[in-house]
Amino acid sequence: MTDRSTLLSLSRRRLLLTASALAAVTLVATTGLSPVLAADTPKEGGDITFLIDSLGDTWIPNNSAISSFQGHIWGHVTDKLLYVDAEGKVSPWLAERWEQNDNATEFTLHLKSGVTFSDGEPLDAKAVVANLDIWYAGRKNEGINPIGLFPKTYDRAEAVDAATVKVFFKKPTLGFIPTLGYHGSILISPKSIAQPASAQADLSKTAGSGPYVVESWKEGDHVTLTKRKDYNWGPAAVGHTGPAFLDTITYKLVSEPSLRVASVQSGQADVAYNASPQELKSLKEEGFTVATPRYLGFVNGWAVNTKHAPYDDVKVRQALQAGINRQEIIDTVYTPDWKLATSFIQSNVPGATDQSALLAFDPAKAEKLLDEAGWVKGANGIRAKDGKELVLTIHSNPYLATSKSVDELIAQQLGKLGWKVVIRAYDVVTYGEKVKFGGAAVPTYEVTRSFIDAGTVAGILTNANNGENWFALDDRDAKINELRDSIAGAGSFDERSPLLNDLQKHVLDQGYFIPRTQIVQRIYVQSPTLKGETYNGVAYASYYTAFIAD
């Protein structure tokens, strides 16, 4: 009996879906996006194994959505209201259209109809309201955290009708729309949301509306996803809206990078995540697909604590800026897939400008600056001033596997200039306790962070409006505060772009931010027969559109 009823409902759903698929196809045609599948004809079926170094901690959706590991699974199991591509372009997904009032305090979202969660619940306005509420507030006493990046100015959301949601903010919140396409904003069935934390922590008890559902999982071992045959609401931007092609995707935990790669090489698996950069060159030569998508965000680099002597001296900071041979980092630790930093934000971010001149390796200039600042080389090759040695303590970023190698190389480079570099490496827990922006014992904080919109950057760097005050400047630099205010008040991109350019120039020239390289936080080594995957704005691979070619 139950079997038959699901069959019936399936076919009814199918009808609806065909209609929306047609609409989607016309949308793709008109926007002129070239679908990934145009090159190859996708083949139905097939199973892939994706080797990953960790499967994160808890599976409570709110707490795990931004995890660099679990994000892969959420990306297949859940959908979002909007889609953000690798260039930061926002396009419709489950929200077909949206409007906002003039001062950006009220937004109206119009939802695609006929979308369901895998537990059968409809993805309607009520479900979206439940999601918005839990993103904003979480259930703190139960251990369900709010989504950190969700606008704190959120007031409430209302379901106007089944397909229309109205969202109210206490203050103007331009960032709301891009937030909906961000990795924290995954839509979960209201039934799952209502579950207590311990049930939410069981991945198999959480239902999303994505192209795949969780078939089985074992903590610290694997997650197997199986295709949802009635899925028909993919993002138009990827050029495919129907059910996925691959039958199953298995995310398997293999903690050794060399084992992950070797397994793909020997054909035992299809994708290896976070391969060691050293191996990429030979892998490419062997014919494997190597993807190093960049996310939208800050480059990998240091935010300098300007209160920490001697980095309160602009000349020392500038010497640091000129004393790092960034090309050598790429040549030694990385491969040409990594790009030289041209600013403190990744060059693919809309609004990033080329400041390479400020980042050139110039040891002579660095030595001269240090001499001028009064740091004299001693007999042991280390510079000193007033009996104190020129020391730089760096804390390796535990979130980036290559961080230690880069630190060691930079220590060698700065050592030649007379710097004494001390490397501290902590585990994630200790790091979180001890290393903070502008911390008393932290001269430089290593940054790897994605963001949604370059306009928010200035706010993070300074201390106003809950900003993070990265350089511990407080209000000591009038210029950066002035730039922050005018960027926030800018009404258009044309007005904002030159201001953003000034900000980048100022921050780099003052040596507030010392870029290392543009960051590739996610490295994928893929079997040559697997094709058609897409990468979004946070560099997650989606195999929704992928297939196995013969």
Partner 1 sequence: MSNAYLTYAAKRLGQAVVVILLAYVFTFVVVSILPGDPITSVLRNPQNGFSEQEIGEIIAAQGLDQPVLVQLWHSLSGFLTGDLGVSMRSNRPVSTLIAEVIPSTLILASSGLAVALFLAFAVAYGTQVLPKRYGQGLLRAFPSLFQSTPNFVIGLFLIHLFGFQLRLFRVIEPDSFWATLFAAITIGIPFSAQIAEVLIANLDHEAKQEYASVARSRGIGQRRLFTRHLLKPASLPVVTVIALTVGELLGNSLITETVFGRTGLGSLVQRSVSTQDLPVLQAIVSLGAVVFVLVNLIADLLYPLLDPRVKMVVGKKYRSTAAGEPSLDPTKAVNP
Partner 2 sequence: MTFVSNSSLPVSRWQEWRAALRMPTIVALSFAVIAIVIAWSLAPQLFTTYSPVVGVPADKLLGPSLSHWFGTDHLGRDLYTRVVYGTASSVSSALVAVVIGVLFGGLIGLLAGFLGGWVDILLARLVDVLLSIPKFLLAVIIVTAIGFETINAAIATGISAVAFFARVTRSEVIKTRQATFVEASFLSGGSRWYILSRHVVPNASRSVLPLAVLQFGESILVIASLAFLGYGDPPPSSDWGLLISIGKDYLKWPWLVYAPAFVTIVTVLSVNRISRWLRKTD
- Name the residues that contact partner 1, by CB under 8 A: 49, 51, 57-60, 63, 66, 68, 138, 140-141, 143, 145-146, 148-149, 197-198, 200-202, 218-221, 252-256, 259, 262-263, 266, 268-269, 399, 427-430, 432-433, 447-450, 466, 468
173 binds, among partner 2, partner 1, none (CB under 5 to 8 A by kind): none
Contact between 79 and partner 2 by CB under 8 A: the answer reads no
Task: Give phi and psi for 88, each to the nearest 5.
Answer: 85, 10
Contact call for residue 397 and partner 2 (CB under 8 A): no
Nearest to 517 by CA among 280, 340, 304: 340
288 binds, among partner 2, partner 1, none (CB under 5 to 8 A by kind): none
Is residue 221 involved in binding partner 2 (CB under 8 A)? Answer: no
Q: CA-CA distance, 93 to 110, in Å (whole number)?
A: 10
Q: What is the per-residue binding string for partner 2 in 325-364, x denoting contact by CB under 8 A? A: ---x--xxx-------------------------------
Closest among 76, 544, 545, 13 to 230, alpha carbons compared: 13
- Cβ neighbours of 20 (radius 10 Å): 17
Q: Using an 8 Å Cβ cutoff, are 283 and 261 in contact?
A: yes
CB nearer partner 2, residue 332 or residue 353: 332
Nearer to partner 1 by Cβ, of 45 and 148: the residue is 148
Give the pairing of strands 444-447 and 300-304: antiparallel
Q: Which is nearer to partner 1, 236 or 539 (CB)?
A: 539
DSSP 507: H
CA-to-CA dists, residue 317 to 85, 266, 396, 510, angstroms: 35, 48, 19, 7
CB proximity list for 80: less than 8 A, separation 6 or greater: 93, 94, 180, 181, 182, 185, 186, 187
Q: Shortest approach of partner 1 to residue 145 CB, angstroms? A: 6
Reduce the DSSP state of residue 141 to 3 states and report it: helix
How many angstroms separate the CA atoms of 328 and 68, rounded?
A: 27
Contact map string, positions 406 to 425, toward partner 2, x by CB under 8 A: -xxx-xx--x-------xxx
What residue 33 binds from partner 1, partner 2, none (CB within 5 to 8 A, per partner kind)? none
To partner 2, the closest distance from the beta carbon of 55 in angstroms equals 18
Nearer to partner 2, 308 or 404 (CB): 404
Question: CB under 5 to 8 A by kind: which of partner 2, partner 1, none does 141 bind?
Answer: partner 1
Rule CB under 8 A: say whether 404 interacts with partner 2: yes
70 binds, among partner 2, partner 1, none (CB under 5 to 8 A by kind): none
The residue from 27, 259, 488, 490 that contacts partner 2 (CB under 8 A) is: 259
Considering only residues 91, 248, 278, 497, which one is a binding residue for partner 2 as defined by CB under 8 A? 278
Distances from the Cα of 315 to the Cα of 30, 181, 186, 370, 445, angstroms? 54, 41, 46, 7, 19
Q: Tell the smallest beta-carbon distance from residue 278 to partner 2 (Å).
A: 6
Q: Does 279 participate in binding partner 2 (rule CB under 8 A)? A: yes
List 40, 47, 158, 256, residue binding partner 2 (CB under 8 A): 256
Question: Minimum Å distance from CB 390 to partner 2?
Answer: 17
- Nearest alpha carbon to residue 181 among 104, 294, 295, 338: 295
**For partner 2, which is the closer residue by CB, 198 or 282?**
282
CA distance 21 to 189: 23
Tokens at 27, concatenated: 């949308």
Query: Residue 270: is it exposed, middle or buried by C-beta count within 10 angstroms (0-12/13-18/19+)?
Result: buried
User: To the nearest whole angstrom, how small is the minimum distance from the Cβ of residue 260 to partner 2?
Assistant: 11
**Angle ∠(155,157,159) on CA atoms, nearest 5:** 165
Q: How far is the CB of 279 from partner 2 (least distance, A)?
A: 7
Q: What is the DSSP string of 443-461?
A: SEEEE--B-S-GGGHHHHH
The amino acid at 387:
G
- Per CB under 8 A, which region of 258-266, 285-293, 337-345, 357-365 contacts partner 2? 258-266
For residue 340, give Cα distances in angstroms to 182, 355, 364, 406. 26, 11, 21, 14
CB of 262 to partner 2, least distance (A): 7
* Contact in structure between 129 and 162 (CB atoms under 8 Å): no
Residue 399 interacting entry, from partner 1, partner 2, none, C-beta within 5 to 8 Å by type: partner 1
Q: What span, in angstroms and rounded, lies between the C-alpha atoms of 235 and 252?
A: 26
Does 444 bind partner 2 (CB under 8 A)? Our answer is: no
Least separation in angstroms between CB 416 and partner 2: 9
Q: Which is nearer to partner 1, 212 or 298 (CB)?
A: 298
485 binds, among partner 2, partner 1, none (CB under 5 to 8 A by kind): none
The residue (of 94 and 473) whose beta carbon lies closer to partner 1 is: 473
Residue placing its CB nearer to partner 1 in the complex, 260 or 531: 260
Q: Binding partner of residue 405 among partner 1, partner 2, none, CB under 5 to 8 Å per kind?
A: partner 2
The DSSP secondary structure of 480-500, one letter per residue, reads HHHHHHHHHH--SHHHHHHHH
Give the length of the chain: 550
Judged by beta carbon distances under 5 to 8 A according to partner kind, the member of partner 2, partner 1, none in contact with residue 201 is: partner 1
Binding residues vs partner 2 (CB under 8 A): 256-259, 262, 276, 278-279, 282, 328, 331-333, 396, 404-405, 407-409, 411-412, 415, 423-427, 430
